[in-house]
Amino acid sequence: MAAAAAADLEDVPSVVLMTELLRRMKCATKPDKRLILIGPPGSGKGTQSPIIKDEYCLCHLATGDMLRAAVAAKTPLGVKAKEAMEKGELVSDDLVVGIIDDALKKPSCQKGFILDGFPRTVVQAQKLDEMLDKHGVKVDKVINFAIDDAILEERITGRWIHPSSGRTYHSKFAPPKVPGVDDVSGEPLVQRKDDTAAVLKSRLEAFHKQTEPVFFPPSYFYRSASAFNHVATLCKYCY
């Protein structure tokens, strides 16, 4: 196995290896950090998460993407999640927390993580705390992306996503260089099926009723950041 890995590295361009080496050296100086980003749909969590991830050498854990990846990879938890989905049932909180638990064991999560939009309920927060306790760690900050509901419809309905990277665009506020095409890869962008005004209304109702109470468990440090802030300003809340 070691010989195969060495052979694989021989085929990697030197500039790629040096870039990765420099990245790891930079990351070694960064403090460990465990963040939760919470806010209504369209508040900017998905846009800011990759930027914060790169700056602080954290892994970005978006539970929806993780569930889809686990199902596609046919992991034991992914198989159970698929069974629930095929029955039209919600994936249980225990399964979602289990997938997060598996992710935290990866080297990319060594310096910490960003949880994007999870937990969404008090019960999920409690289960997350229990799992993190087993690892001997805790959440350092919960950052709320505060934004008025009235602004969100225009944001949501104009949003375009590059699925494999998570890069986010907006037809008005942050358009791609070529409409419908990712700037970096040249691959097509997609719109989520739930990025509509009708779906937004029901999701906002759920957010205010179920998720806002999550902000106040005593084990979390709560910070509120305006969703209009530039990432450099936002990240003063990350310390």
Active site residues: 45, 120, 159, 192, 203
* Count of beta carbons in the 10 Å neighbourhood of residue 178: 10
Of 133, 160, 157, 204, the C-alpha closest to 47 is 160
The C-alpha angle 214, 79, 196, rounded to 5 degrees, equals 50
Q: HEC profile for the chain?
A: CHHHHHHHHHCCCHHHHHHHHHHHHHHHCCCCEEEEEECCCCCCHHHHHHHHHHHHCCEEECHHHHHHHHHHHCCHHHHHHHHHHHCCCCCCHHHHHHHHHHHHCCHHHCCEEEEECCCCCHHHHHHHHHHHHHHCCCCCEEEEEECCHHHHHHHHHCEEECCCCCCEEECCCECCCECCECCCCCCECECCCCCCHHHHHHHHHHHHHHHHHHHCCCCCCEEEEECCCCHHHHHHHHC
